[in-house]
Amino acid sequence: MLRSATGLPFDDIRNLVAQMPGPDEAARAAARARQDRLVKPPGALGRLEEIAIHIAGWQGREIPAVNRPTVAVFAATHGVAGRGVSPYPSEVTKQMVATFTAGKAAVNQICGVFGAGLRVFDLALDLPTPDIVEADALTEAECAATMAFGMEALAGEPDLLCLGEMGIGNTTVAAAIFHGLYGGEAAEWVGPGTGSTGETLARKIEAVRAAVERSRGHLDDPLEVLRKLGGREIAAMAGAILAARLQRVPVVLDGYVVTAAAAVLKAMDPSALDHCLAGHVSAEPAHRRVLEQLGLVPLLDLGMRLGEGSGAALAIGVVKSALACHAGMATFAEAGVSDA
């Protein structure tokens, strides 16, 4: 638990945010110099070069490696789903958790391709958080404890942590967090999610508007936004991103919903996502704008809108390829190739 002798739970979270380390600048510089010696025109590997340098900085070595990538999927149940904001019933969350365990979801197949481990964290699925239109999703103690629980994603000592989620209704929750953090109109943040249209989409926009309206006066504190509007998987993912940072483990974000957890930390500290890569931009319309807001350029843009960590898992292939080139390519000198 994060409760200290003197502080409130959120103060403990704030203390951790204040302790976030930066990357190893010497390792970054060494990796950058290596990229310039490898047998290719400088910059010819485009973002693969930046990715190798990014991972080098966070792993603290000139030649980093990703041998134990982990996809951590956090699952939770949302009271707001009872408003009919998703075409699917809340039971699907538990059923999909069973499907992950059986190895039969999309994310399992993608993990298999890249040799990634999948860990599923089930956050009290029989106990939905209150409907955010009516009441706060979490108390401060619950929110801090759930963030602490999310730190368990680091327990297997992954060398790359990808985040995913499952929770019917959670694109509504994510939209509420973005609307709470960034303002504007509710409708700007709301999209179809699993496929909401017409009346369902209208109920979703109204739920986001009303939940944020209910939270007015508390929106300048990102942890309050998380507590009042976010579900357990969002809080746990925020904790996982923070824990990864404290251990200098690089993170790959997934789509719109995972990005809501990231946005809370970024609002607390502009450097909070420096260890994160955006695995992809999802087809949820507001995701692109949110990534711009966060200063993240997605690695992939494949029109995916699934969640589960599927886009983050797919990006492992890009990261591994970047590191394979960085580690395995000869330098101009080694290969005996004439430099420019």
Ligand X SMILES: O=C(O)c1cccnc1
Task: Note the residues at the interface with ligand RBZ (CB under 6 A).
Answer: 86, 88, 92, 96, 165-172, 193-194, 196, 306-308
- In the three-class reduction of DSSP (H, G, I as helix; E, B as strand; rest coil), residue 194 is classed as coil
Q: Which does 166 bind (CB under 5 to 8 A by kind): ligand X, ligand RBZ, none?
A: ligand RBZ
Across the chain, the runs of DSSP E, i.e. the strands, are 69-75, 117-122, 160-166, 251-253, 276-278
Contact 90, 126 (CB under 8 A): no
Count of CB atoms situated within 10 Å of the CB of 40 = 15
Chain centroid offset of residue 55 CA: 17
Q: Give DSSP secondary structure letters for 104-150.
A: -SHHHHHHHHHT-EEEEEE--TTSPBPPTTTS-S--HHHHHHHHHHH
| Touching ligand X, residues 316-335 (CB under 6 A) | none
Nearest distance in Å: CB 300, ligand RBZ: 17
Residue 25 known to be catalytic: no
Decide if residue 90 touches ligand X (CB under 6 A): no
Distance CA 243, CA 262 (A): 12
Backbone φ, ψ for residue 99 (5° rounding): -70, -40
Contact 166, 96 (CB under 8 A): yes
Decide if residue 257 touches ligand X (CB under 6 A): yes
Nearer to ligand X, 145 or 273 (CB): 273
Q: Which does 88 bind (CB under 5 to 8 A by kind): ligand X, ligand RBZ, none?
A: ligand RBZ
Nearer to ligand RBZ, 105 or 147 (CB): 105
Nearer to ligand RBZ, 64 or 193 (CB): 193
Stretch that binds ligand X, among 61-69, 92-100, 220-228, 279-287 (CB under 6 A): 279-287
Nearest distance in Å: CB 243, ligand RBZ: 21
| Touching ligand X, residues 10-29 (CB under 6 A) | none
Contact 110, 62 (CB under 8 A): no
Of 192, 199, 178, 207, residue with least CA distance to 306:
192
Among 118, 284, 298, 313, binds ligand X (CB under 6 A): 284
Nearest distance in Å: CB 111, ligand RBZ: 14
CA quadruple 174, 177, 182, 187: dihedral sign: positive
Nearer to ligand RBZ, 197 or 338 (CB): 197
Catalytic pick from 49, 188, 308, 334?
A: 308
Among 209, 227, 266, 305, binds ligand X (CB under 6 A): 305
Structure tokens that stand for 297 in this block? 């350029």
Among 169, 279, 307, 309, binds ligand X (CB under 6 A): 307
Residues that bind ligand X (CB under 6 A): 171, 193-194, 254-257, 282, 284, 287, 305, 307
Q: Which residues are catalytic?
A: 308
